[in-house]
Structure 1
Amino acid sequence: MSKAMPPRTRKMKQLFTVSGVLVGVTAITSSYLWWNTDVLGADSFCGGRLNSADVRAALDSTGRLGQAQSHLDPGLPEYTCTVERTSRFVGGKDQQLTVKTSSEQGAFPFTTSVWKSPATRSYFTNGLTGAVSDSGGYVVLPKACWDKVGALQGNRVVRAGKGAVAAVEATVTQGRADRTGLARLLAHSAQQIARKAGCANPGTDRAPGLGAPAARRTTDVQSVCGLRGFALPEAAVLVGRAEPDAEQINTATAHTWACDLQLAGSARASMSFTATTDGIFAHAALSGPTRFQKLPSHRGETAPGQAVLHCRDNDVYFAARWNSAYEGALLESVHHSAANYAKIKRNAFQNFLNATASRYACPSVDLP
């Protein structure tokens, strides 16, 4: 028969047990706070270029922020900064946010493969030229900065050359960005860079407002992108490979209209159409390296897949872009005839202009 434990010994054992539990809980809590929050974390990153509060707001996840890479010269406005958010707990997504100055050419958000799907973006609504998506965003710096701010390549500052457009760009990998937070981070970064480069203007101090894109819907083949009378040329519809299926239209801002058209079929093809009254892009397009051809009667200028029309109130920039999958399928369908390939794309863009020009009080034009 076991001997009963004296009361004092029993109390001591209970005390040690409780103390052990408290130590364990404290250790777990401390570990959680260290690895899954920013308690006692850095206030800024990359020499003060990015504020930690802005970074936290831009990344839609939990975890601890830490600087991953930094390329900058304290005396120059250009930089590249990568911050990562890491979580050691189940359910946390490791993310990276890279913010950099860039030197682009032409109407870059609507003509390059880097910036896909213009209709999915939330465009700035308050005078700043920019947009954000779930995976990144951009803001264009004031024109006074275009010849003063470039991009970093290694330790060198480079500019895109003729018609260079200075911008701040952000990319988010793994997980999604918080669009409102990312827009605020880009606006604050643009303000800081413009001040450092000596080219700030009052417009760079505005807080960004955002327009939200609409949901996807089924395409009406006789009114593609909701535009009455807009249909793709018969030769542009590749039966079984690329046929109109679904579309997403963005009309949330007064200055930019965009439509992403998803095509059903084996090619996994898509195309996008854009129109914007933002004068920055009309100017950038005509100032860049792409050769534009003047249209008769001073109606505007055009290049493959692009046009700047002189409309009643202002110049309007129009663009059409096809993804590489569609371009490859189209080229195969015309047996690699460059002339027929260019003609089909030109006719598709012509149909788009015919359906949209009157919305902006633009002249009707015939593409050369």
Structure 2
Amino acid sequence: MSATADRTRRPRRTWAAAALAVVVVAGLLHGYRNTNVLTADRLCAGLVPAAGADAVLPGTGRLGAERNGPDDGPVDTECTIEKSSVLVGGGRGRLTVRIVEERGDFAFLDGSWSDPARASFLSGPVTGGFQEHDGWVALPERCWTDQPVFVRAHSTEPVPDTAALSALLTDVARTVAQEEGCGTLPERPGAPRPPRSDPPRPADERRLCDLDDLPVRGLVPAGSKVLDTGQSAPAGLWSCTVFLDEEPGRPARADGYLTYAAARDPLLLAAVAKSPGTHRRTAADGTESAVVGPWRTVLPCGDGGGLYLAMESGLQYIEARERVPSTPDRDVLFRAFQRAATASFDCDRGSAGE
């Protein structure tokens, strides 16, 4: 081999080595900036599983997290997780997970949470609700002090799978309970129970909202076409919204006519009992109930459990009252709901309190 040929090949080798180094570095940068290589298994000082957060936030990207809150307990702790990517069309979004004290029935209060009739619920070993952008899970009762404690989450991007969100929040709740020594939760919460229909569908004239003995007639202005959406009854956690089939797109149409809620879930009932303002009342017939607020009550059932019932009126109801004075008032509507719900949710009132 001539000296000239050897000198020619050396630069080629040098360029090949440099090109290989560039490819390796680019690959490492791609993996670091667009995946969770080298990311810890848990984020926010161990509070949130990285794999769970990655499954909730859509697309591929790298997770970054920040934790804020007190050092003397989990309540008011907040973990903010962001997914980012330098790739076009890569993952993005922010997930906020909080440990908070709330009213026991906050998930069924107007304005406190997204429309409960469109939620998927868990009841039993895990109590919680999950939607496209939001979710919550209740901590065990021994973890509470002044008020019930919940893990709540909000995602800026639509969550592709409510089961992933329920698994994430159950993991966080289980971690908090273990650290505080106040209870246990299962590793796998099960599949959340989705609504019967979304969007709303024409209501059964004899069984509004899937409830026995709740006919549409007498509850809405005569001649109204009625839609409903919500979970199948009975269930541990249940909600249904009633709509008058009027002009779509109007704010009143989106808000609905009435929203019903019911629960036989023991942990939810305990949370409601601990909420501020809940007090007992004895009716004229001697039966007792726990009054939670206007058109909100907990009825004792003969099996030793209870039945939480709530009703919220929407903008369509307010407009109907103004337009049709004969529209039933809220007390009449709530009594009809209570009568139907006690039958549908197997709450035998005859032996309650005996």
Q: Same fold (TM over 0.5)?
A: yes
| 1:84 to partner: Cα distance | 0.8
Cα separation, partners in 2 of 1:277 and 1:291, compared to 1, 3 Å: closer
Q: Secondary structure at the match of 1:116?
A: coil
Could you tell me the TM-score, scaled by structure 2's length? 0.78
The residue type equivalent to 1:304 in the other structure is P
2:101 touches 2:148 (CA, 8 Å); kept in 1? Answer: yes
Which one of 224, 244, 261 corresponds to residue 274 of structure 1? 261
Counterparts of 1:1-368 in structure 2 under 5 Å? 29-67=27-65, 69-78=66-75, 79-147=77-145, 164-198=147-181, 200-201=182-183, 203-213=184-194, 214-216=196-198, 217-232=201-216, 234=218, 236-237=220-221, 244-251=226-233, 254-265=235-246, 266=250, 267-268=252-253, 269-270=255-256, 271-290=258-277, 292=279, 293-295=281-283, 296-302=285-291, 303-313=293-303, 314-323=305-314, 325-326=315-316, 329=319, 332-333=322-323, 344-359=329-344, 360-363=346-349
2:127 touches 2:138 (CA, 8 Å); kept in 1? Answer: yes
2:171 touches 2:187 (CA, 8 Å); kept in 1? Answer: no
The residue type equivalent to 1:215 in the other structure is S
Distance in 2 (alpha carbons) for counterparts of 1:357 and 1:31: 61
Distance in 2 (alpha carbons) for counterparts of 1:363 and 1:77: 39
Distance in 2 (alpha carbons) for counterparts of 1:61 and 1:189: 22
Q: How many residues align?
A: 332
The residue type equivalent to 1:117 in the other structure is D
Distance in 1 (alpha carbons) for counterparts of 2:92 and 2:232: 30
Distance in 1 (alpha carbons) for counterparts of 2:169 and 2:216: 37
Could you tell me the TM-score, scaled by structure 1's length? 0.75
What is the root-mean-square deviation of aligned Cα atoms in Å?
Answer: 3.5
Distance in 1 (alpha carbons) for counterparts of 2:137 and 2:207: 32
Distance in 1 (alpha carbons) for counterparts of 2:236 and 2:215: 24
Q: Secondary structure at the match of 1:284?
A: helix
Cα separation, partners in 2 of 1:17 and 1:244, compared to 1, 3 Å: farther
The residue type equivalent to 1:249 in the other structure is Q
| 1:208 to partner: Cα distance | 0.9
2:58 touches 2:157 (CA, 8 Å); kept in 1? Answer: no
Distance in 1 (alpha carbons) for counterparts of 2:222 and 2:11: 80
2:120 touches 2:130 (CA, 8 Å); kept in 1? Answer: yes
- Segments of 5+ residues of structure 2 without an aligned counterpart are none
Cα separation, partners in 2 of 1:126 and 1:8, compared to 1, 3 Å: farther
Q: Secondary structure at the match of 1:317?
A: strand
Cα separation, partners in 2 of 1:299 and 1:41, compared to 1, 3 Å: same
Distance in 1 (alpha carbons) for counterparts of 2:347 and 2:219: 29
Cα separation, partners in 2 of 1:131 and 1:173, compared to 1, 3 Å: same
Q: Secondary structure at the match of 2:64?
A: strand
138-147 vs 206-215, greater mean Cα deviation: 206-215
Cα separation, partners in 2 of 1:89 and 1:81, compared to 1, 3 Å: same
2:125 touches 2:186 (CA, 8 Å); kept in 1? Answer: no
1:121 touches 1:132 (CA, 8 Å); kept in 2? Answer: yes
Distance in 2 (alpha carbons) for counterparts of 1:9 and 1:230: 93
- Segments of 5+ residues of structure 1 without an aligned counterpart are 1-5, 148-160
Cα separation, partners in 2 of 1:275 and 1:28, compared to 1, 3 Å: same
| 1:24 to partner: Cα distance | 7.1
296-305 vs 131-140, greater mean Cα deviation: 296-305
